[in-house]
Amino acid sequence: MSHPCILVPIDFSSPSDEMVRLVAAMAPEHEVCLVHVVEDQTVRFAQDAGFGTPDQVGHRLMGDAHRRLQRIAVQCAPFRHARVVVILGDASKEIPRIVRELGVMLVVLLSRSSVVAGTVRPTIAEKLIREVTVPVLCIPAESLPRAKPETSSQNVSPADLSREWERSAEGTVA
């Protein structure tokens, strides 16, 4: 990238869509990089569920994530300069790497509490704050309004996902 950008990790939730709109309203003239990390554990889970080899599952999940990020960039926030990046790995490791490689000036991400079985676990946001040297703006997910159904990237039924997955495996999804 020729100049510093704003990195916006996306998890495809309704608050995530709203966060992209917020970033577009705050900084429409800046280059924005929308990022999604397909977690290794998701690929393993899908493989264990019989959806294919790790390569097949990873390829399909990454392709789907790339199409969804492009849709979000257009529907939620038509940035002057936008880039979409999809990576396979561990988000807590990949996002700091992307920050360093792309010359990011700011990271804007959702902050969610992480309590599992009564134990508070560090969130990706907390890990990221410790790992990078650029400002990190954490927006509490519960503070954002839910996206309208017609623009939400999550507005997909399980049956729709299953059909899209099957078409993707056959190579018929655009």
Find where tokens 């010359």 sit.
103
Beta bridge partners of 37: 87
Q: How far apart are CA 124 and CA 108, in angstroms?
A: 12
Encode pLDDT of 23-52 as tens digits.
Answer: 888 887 888 899 999 998 888 888 888 888
Percent of the chain clearing pLDDT 90 (strictly above): 26
pLDDT (0 to 100) of residue 37 = 94
* pLDDT over 70, % of the chain: 71
At the topology level, CATH places domain 5-170 in: Rossmann fold (3.40.50)
Higher pLDDT, 163 or 87: 87
For the chain, the structural domain boundaries read 5-170
